[in-house]
Amino acid sequence: MTTQLEQILTLLQQSKDNKGIKDVEFVKTLHEVAKGKSTNQSSLYKGKYYPAEWAVDGNTGTFSHTKGEENPYWWVDLGKLYRVKQIVVYSRKDCCGSYLKDMDVTVGPSLNNMSLCTHYKGPASTGGHFNLDCKAAMVGRYVKLSINSKRAYMQLAELKVFAYHQKL
């Protein structure tokens, strides 16, 4: 799957009164929906450095960073429900890409109602990026990354969430 994915599906739907046919066009396009959105993480490095929002500021030269802790996590609130399909994670350029490993990506309508999108075995490479695809688009407002470890650092240079707009 590519982040440039565009599919156009046109349905011809017979109207109920049988007076004609209406053209109904549905555009299925993946959109990046996390940039600038509200974020949080399990801790701040040294209590005050590298906030969670730096992972969605559009700049791969900045990064979020937790302290070394058990099962560190980071999440973004997309602001409304989307059908999440792909997450692209950028690792730090200067070091520490290998810290991104054994990571669960969950998606859900609330932080208390999350389902597994995918698991990333890793490790990542320094200065690189990797795509995480949900097997099927998942409806959710929140996307959360959690590292499964007794002691780890969550460090994200940038995170992009690609989703379809949810029609409710």
CATH number at residue 81: 2.60.120.260
| pLDDT, tens only, 47-56 | 889 999 999 9
Long-range CB contacts (within 8 A, 24+) of 112-117: 114/140, 114/142, 114/144, 115/140, 117/84, 117/87, 117/143
- Residue 4 domain-assigned? no
Residue 167: the pLDDT is 63
At residue 101, what is the residue type? K
Q: Structure pTM?
A: 0.83
Cα(63)–Cα(149) distance, rounded to whole angstroms? 20
Compute and round to an integer the Cα radius of gyration of the chain. 18
- Residue 66 domain-assigned? yes
Cα(45)–Cα(40) distance, rounded to whole angstroms? 13
- Residue 61 domain-assigned? yes
| Average pLDDT for 62-77 | 98
CB 166 within 8 A of CB 112: no
Strands 64-65 and 73-90: unpaired
What is the count of structural domains for the chain? 1
| pLDDT, tens only, 13-44 | 333 334 444 443 444 799 999 999 999 999 99
- Residue 22 domain-assigned? no
Residue 166: the pLDDT is 66
Cα(67)–Cα(54) distance, rounded to whole angstroms? 15
Cα(143)–Cα(106) distance, rounded to whole angstroms? 6
Q: Is cis: bond before 123, omega within 30 of 0?
A: yes
Contacts of 48 (CB under 8 A, 6+ apart): none
- Residue 9 domain-assigned? no
* Tokens linked to 151: 């002691």
Query: Which region, left, alpha or beta, applies to residue 154 given φ > 0 means left and ψ of -120 to 50 means alpha?
Result: beta
CB 32 within 8 A of CB 141: no
- Residue 137 domain-assigned? yes
- Residue 144 domain-assigned? yes
- Residue 134 domain-assigned? yes
Backbone angles phi, psi at 38, to 5 degrees: -70, 135
Q: Where in the sequence is the domain holding 65, given as residue range(s)?
A: 31-165
